[in-house]
Amino acid sequence: MQLKRLLKNTAVVITSLVRYNLSIIFAGKFIYFLIAALAIFLFVTGSQLFSADSMPSEATVFRLLLVPGLLLIFYPVTFGIQNDVDSRMIEILFGIPNYRYKVWMVRLLLIFAMTGAILLVLAFLSSVALITVPLFEMLFQLLFPVVFLGCLAFMVSTVVRNGSGTAVVMVIIGMVFLLGTEFFENYPKWNIFLNPFDLPQDMNEVVWAAIVVDNRIFLFAGTVIALLYGLLSLQKREKFL
């Protein structure tokens, strides 16, 4: 009987926590980023579909889905801390020991799960409209840069404590990697936007596979470091209140 009551109370707490965080994620300007992501996907897919010279490949689909993935995580992660501060929710989170960690871990998990579900649907639509791709492998590879940049944005937001400031920093980081194309052609394993399906013509498949693995290890390590640093930054109560 006691175990049943404990399970019931736990389920109620988890449900309430998920419901609250979903309302936070979908609040504000997120809908505009969702519309922009879908609009970009439809526009590029339509361009590929109706272009006589178009020869879509798995690498094309990866590039096509990467931008919507980044747009979907951008607002809820970048402006999450500021929204908590503006709504005075941050005071409640700091008032309950270790509660803020649980809230943000659940929130990030929900953001990435939601983004992954949408990307899976878009990957399926790409398979129907353009070229058949391995859906779960495509999603798996997309989540590396998406989750890494999401956790990096979370870390930056705990330092800057301002959504607009965090957005500027993340845009600068993105531009550095986009403008450094020539550098990353020589050192591809350090490219956070590495396309694992885009095998260079002058490279052996085994060598390329090793580079992709190294890149994914780098992104995974960076994700863990950014997440832990962001959570540790939340210990500094005086910065947020």
pLDDT in tens, 8-45: 666 776 676 667 666 666 666 777 777 888 888 888 88
Q: Pull the structure tokens for residue 77.
A: 């992660």
pLDDT in tens, 101-135: 677 787 888 889 989 999 999 999 988 888 888 99
Query: What is the average pLDDT across 79-86?
Result: 67
The answer to whether the beta carbons of residues 138 and 123 sit under 8 Å apart is yes
The answer to whether the beta carbons of residues 94 and 158 sit under 8 Å apart is no
Q: What is the largest CA-CA distance in the chain?
A: 68
The residue whose two tokens read 């649980």 is 102
pLDDT over 60 at 91, yes or no? no
Quick one: pLDDT at residue 57? 85
pLDDT in tens, 145-192: 999 999 999 888 888 877 788 888 888 888 887 777 777 778 888 888
What Å distances lie between residue 209 and 58, 117, 201, 203, 213, CA to CA? 15, 26, 14, 10, 6
Global pTM value = 0.85
Query: What is the average pLDDT across 51-79?
Result: 84
Quick one: pLDDT at residue 128? 86
